[in-house]
Amino acid sequence: MRNVLQILRRDLKRLVTVPAAWVIMIGIIIIPPLYAWFNIYGFWNPYGNTQGIKVAVANVDKGTDNALLGKMNLGDQIEDTLKDNDQLGWEFMGKAEAMEAIQSGDCYAAIIIPSNFSEDPANVVTDSKNRPTLEYYVNEKSSPISPKITDQGATTVDRTVNNTFVSTVSEVLTKAVNSANGTINGKTNSFVNETTAELDKTQKNVNLIRSTIEDLDAQLANVPQQTQSARQAMNDVQLAAAS
């Protein structure tokens, strides 16, 4: 035990007399906590501070004019919704500019709304199996963490797309059903009116036929009497000729 204490005193004296040893010791003590603190601070609530992460959004949707749903452009509706969303730094531009921004590293990701995006939900309503899809590109070379965060942004876009898609289709379907219902009601009322008029006309014809039949019955009832009178007249003529 005495030897251990002697060695400790000797080492402490050497540390006091050698400043470089103090620098190394302080560095060994301070650097690991600083590294841990900076990492913890950097990853503290990462999704709450993502406004600086630029995500390019290119809307090339041409819209559609469906016979049942009418005119609609889901791409414009999604773009308007994203403009009110501050989860990521949305940058709205053309498709070529978005792809160039990805390659140059100006943006971490790009989301392309294709030109037939509005046609697909319209086709769904008209029994087509096509579903609306987005094109998603990410630049993983910019940062190993940014793809994970932009994936979260893409999930937000998917949620926005689903909500917009469902609400839009529901709205246009409701309008289409109401329009069809109004048309059916109009045709039903017209059919009822026409049927009523035809029934009235038929009733009048029936009454006319009934009156005609009654007149014929009366005339037929007089036929035997008239026949008897004619026979009596012929007999009288024959008797007169014989005399």
Q: Could you say which DSSP state residue 73 is in? A: -
Give yes or no: residues 8 and 112 share one domain. no
- Strand 135-138 to 109-113 pairing: antiparallel
**Which CATH number belongs to the domain containing residue 162 in this structure?**
3.40.1710.10
What is the pTM assigned to this prediction? 0.48
Tokens of 236: 């009288």
Residuewise pLDDT in 10s, the chain (243 residues): 678 888 878 877 777 777 777 788 888 889 988 888 887 876 676 656 666 778 888 999 888 776 666 677 878 887 887 788 777 788 999 999 999 998 888 887 888 888 887 776 555 555 555 666 778 887 766 555 556 665 665 566 556 545 554 554 455 446 545 655 555 566 566 666 777 777 777 777 667 767 766 666 666 566 566 556 656 665 665 565 555
Give yes or no: residues 175 and 65 share one domain. yes
Query: Is the residue at 211 inside a domain?
Result: no
Query: Is the residue at 213 inside a domain?
Result: no
Give yes or no: residues 81 and 161 share one domain. yes
Give yes or no: residues 21 and 56 share one domain. no
What is the predicted pLDDT for the residue at 165?
44
Query: Is the residue at 18 inside a domain?
Result: yes
Domain range for residue 10? 1-28
Query: Is the residue at 142 inside a domain?
Result: yes
Q: Are 95 and 112 in contact (CB under 8 A)?
A: yes
Query: Is the residue at 185 inside a domain?
Result: no
**217 CB-side CA count, 13 A:** 6
The number of distinct structural domains making up the chain is 2
Give yes or no: residues 155 and 67 share one domain. yes
Query: Is the residue at 230 inside a domain?
Result: no
99 Cβ contact partners less than 8 Å away, ≥ 6 residues apart: 110, 137
What is the predicted pLDDT for the residue at 173?
47
What is the predicted pLDDT for the residue at 41?
79
Q: Where are the alpha helices (DSSP H) in the chain?
A: 2-17, 19-42, 74-83, 95-104, 119-125, 146-242
